Structure 1
Amino acid sequence: MKILPSNEIDYSENHSKQQVSSQISGPPTPRFLPVPSESVLVPNDKTINILLLGETGVDKSIFINAFANYLTFDSFEQAESSEPIVIIPVSFVMTVGDNFEERIVKFGELDRFDNENVNTLGQSITQHCKSYTFDLKRNEDDNRRKVRIIDTPGFGDTRGLDQDDQNMEHILQYINNVTHLNAICFLLKPNTSRLHIFFRTCLIQLFSLLGLTSSNNIIFCFTNARSTFYTPGNTASLLKTMLVSASMDNISFKKENTYCFDSEAFRYLVALQNGIPFADEEKEEYQMSWSTSVKESNRLIDYINKELTEYRIENEWQTIKHAQFEISYMIRPILETMRNTLRNIILWKNTLNQFIKLNAKPLHSRATRCLSCKGDLEQVAEFWIFSTRTHTIEKNGCLMCMCSLDQHVTIDYALSYTRLNITSDDVQNAMVERLTALSHASVEFAHFLIHTAYSTKDDPFLNGLVEMIAEETYTCEIKISNNFNKQLCEELSKLANEYEQRMNKKKSIQENINLPTVYKFIKIISEYPVVHEQIIAVKKRHRMMIEEYEYEVQKM
């Protein structure tokens, strides 16, 4: 078996042609992601996407490895004689011999993203969402489908509920950028004494994004079930009680959507690779465990194929959480469009018949912008404009500067600027109307984020305007020929004052915008060409990050 990053599989040829050459001198140049075709950005609709959720310590990573083996090998004997599929590095303790000697069993290498934290007890082993794909065997129609399992950070992290909330927010952002889910799988242990308090919160937050109809796609899987004779055990009553108390009776918990597995057969296969001997009677037990788990794996896939309707993420459903994410993608595009519109209005007023066009390109996954470091200034149509200078964050800090990590913010795309000539007399009116519409929409969006979605206490649009004013003020201080930047600074200050007045007026009315109106604003503003191009860059980077964190199993 060979595990390859799926981005190397899907467009390795294009990737090699589009490698960005390193700069020998001068400031760091933004490293743009190769933009794959739309067919690469949108996963194959035939792929079965399974979102896997569960408490920290429930062994999701072990389960994924075992599940892949159960669905790949034709028999236990074939699995024994082959190298096991280990798509996620594993580490566990096994007791051997009459003296109960403890042996640490490890198999698989940490990948380039260090997604698996196998050495820190109590913390979620999986540090961020990552997906793994492998082929199913051909069915009776001679068709082959892929399974994509989306591995997620576990809830119940020892770092506390705040970390659980952060992990869940990351999970929701991740699935907001996939095309569909076939199943939402909760992995549990059958002999638990209580369900973690965050289990209910996880369901509530999941529905806050996907809506209640997604409950039809929920399935329950129990691992380590050999000890309870492959039943849900004590956990069944706890789960039923929780669903009733949380008024989630619409979530089915029956035989048809419940599956009991045991991962001991997989541990056995890995232990063989580590040279651990086993008695014949032990081998027989593992073989029985293998047979039962294979049957359950096939039953699960059959249920998904025949009984479940895939949940399309891209459908035009409306939830507060989804609107929050859509607005978050628009914050920088709106702010940059307003600033550049002001530049073009100033150029028009000075009868220069010039126009500055924005161009957006998605950046790599670890690209950030340092709030303390300044980029280089370039002159475009009389304006001094800071070029995008990206900083790359690694484990130990920033590779470009010594500033603290809290001074670095994620950046989805880099902007470049092109000067054009214009002659139309209708341009100014159109620019003024666009600026007014963007400013009004920004107030509605910010009010929604703060008072409806409760996703922030600060106003991201006002903060962005303040930062732009500071940037233009700094430009005027270091450049002598700064007349146009001074005008821009003054216009941005006026825009910020008008914005605050609108926001204060809206607060005084004490009326929250309703969800359909929010989506109406999202649709209108996102269709503005300049905003639209930047949003496309944001979403392309998010989709490509999904592919960056995806690995595919290939049979050798």
Structure 2
Amino acid sequence: MPHGASNPASSGRKIVLVIGETGSGKSTLINYLTNYFKGGNIAAPRIAIPTEYYSKPTEAYQYHEANVSNQTASQTEKCMDYDFESGTASYRFIDTPGMSDSRGVERDEKNIQQILQAAQSAGTLSAIVIVINGTQCRGTINLRNTLTRLRGITPNALTDNLIVVLTSCDSTNFKFKLMSLHPWTLKAENIFAMNNAALSQDPLLMLEGDHRQVMEALWKKSMAEINRFVLSSRENVQVRTLVVQWF
């Protein structure tokens, strides 16, 4: 649903803001979470957000995606809320427009302002999740700029709740330099790695024997990381109010 369409504060729902650069895998992370909460599997994946290879969603969530075949422009045009339930716990993940959009500085600034407004309008956050392509060495200027501005509205109590999800890698082979996330510091237990190939490659390739076994192993490992990630979520923390200026 569009972000802010309902107020989760009274429900005790844990609210997680998901940010990242264009093409980092934010929407794929939402789809992995959908499979985790909805019981999907690699043979019959549950799709909340359409992608290049899964163009028809299986779920009834609203989404606001652009041309999914163009990975240089942000696929998520507006902030969208994805709500999940698990036993007595409930979660809201806020998917946001990607940074470093190829459509130019003005569009990128608009996306950043949407992220800041989403954080403030949520009122409280359980965590801020930064999705990063783990094959890259460092974040761009736009990512560092957004992190600096988010830091300005984030209370100290929430800094322990900063989470990084490294995509396209596992915990043994990522190249990203975590020190480039300054002024944020990370706890080791808040770093997660997942190879999202199972939902970002042509599913017809999975029909082949050896390739299928590799994809099944990657899927199982990534879902284990998703489980660890969900179980690590903490209680919501109030977000500071900051005047957001549109340019």
What's the TM-score bracket when you normalise by the shorter of the two chains?
Answer: 0.7 to 0.9
Partner residue, 2:196: 263
Give the CA deviation at 1:171.
Answer: 1.5
> Where do residues 219-230 of structure 1 align in structure 2 (5 Å cutoff)?
219-225=163-169, 229-230=170-171
Give the CA deviation at 1:218.
Answer: 0.5
> Structure 1 pair 218/134, CA: closer, same or farther in 2 (3 Å)?
same
**Counterpart residue type for residue 239 of structure 1:** L
**Does the alignment pair 1:170 with 2:114?**
yes
Length, aligned pairs only: 245
> Structure 1 pair 283/309, CA: closer, same or farther in 2 (3 Å)?
same
More helix by share: 1
**Counterpart residue type for residue 64 of structure 2:** N
Partner residue, 1:310: 236
Does structure 2 retain, via aligned residues, the 8 Å contact 1:70–1:293? no
Q: Deviations over 1:135-174 (max 9, x none)?
A: 22x3xxxxx2222111001111112333222211112112
TM-score normalised according to structure 1 size? 0.40
> Structure 1 pair 66/122, CA: closer, same or farther in 2 (3 Å)?
same
> Where do residues 50-449 of structure 1 align in structure 2 (5 Å cutoff)?
50-73=16-39, 79-80=41-42, 83-92=44-53, 106-108=55-57, 115-117=64-66, 118-136=68-86, 138=87, 144-225=88-169, 229-231=170-172, 233-235=174-176, 238-240=177-179, 242-243=180-181, 246=182, 248=183, 251-254=185-188, 256-267=189-200, 271=203, 278-304=207-233, 308-313=234-239, 317=240, 322-324=241-243
Q: 1 or 2 for the larger relative contact order (CA 8 Å, sep ≥6)?
A: 2
Give the SS at the match of 2:82.
Answer: strand
> Structure 1 pair 113/284, CA: closer, same or farther in 2 (3 Å)?
closer
Give the SS at the match of 2:30.
Answer: helix
Give the CA deviation at 1:251.
Answer: 1.7
Q: Deviations over 1:424-458 (max 9, x none)?
A: xxxxxxxxxxxxxxxxxxxxxxxxxxxxxxx489x
Cα distance in 1 for residues equivalent to 2:37 and 2:42: 14
Cα distance in 2 for residues equivalent to 1:185 and 1:112: 21
Give the CA deviation at 1:323.
Answer: 4.6
Return 5+ residue gaps in structure 2 as ranges. Answer: none
**Counterpart residue type for residue 310 of structure 1:** N
TM-score normalised according to structure 2 size? 0.84
Give the CA deviation at 1:43.
Answer: 3.8
Q: Deviations over 1:453-500 (max 9, x none)?
A: xx489xxxxxxxxxxxxxxxxxxxxxxxxxxxxxxxxxxxxxxxxxxx
Give the CA deviation at 1:6.
Answer: 8.8
Identity of aligned pairs, percent? 24
> Structure 1 pair 175/456, CA: closer, same or farther in 2 (3 Å)?
closer
> Where do residues 32-51 of structure 1 align in structure 2 (5 Å cutoff)?
41-51=7-17
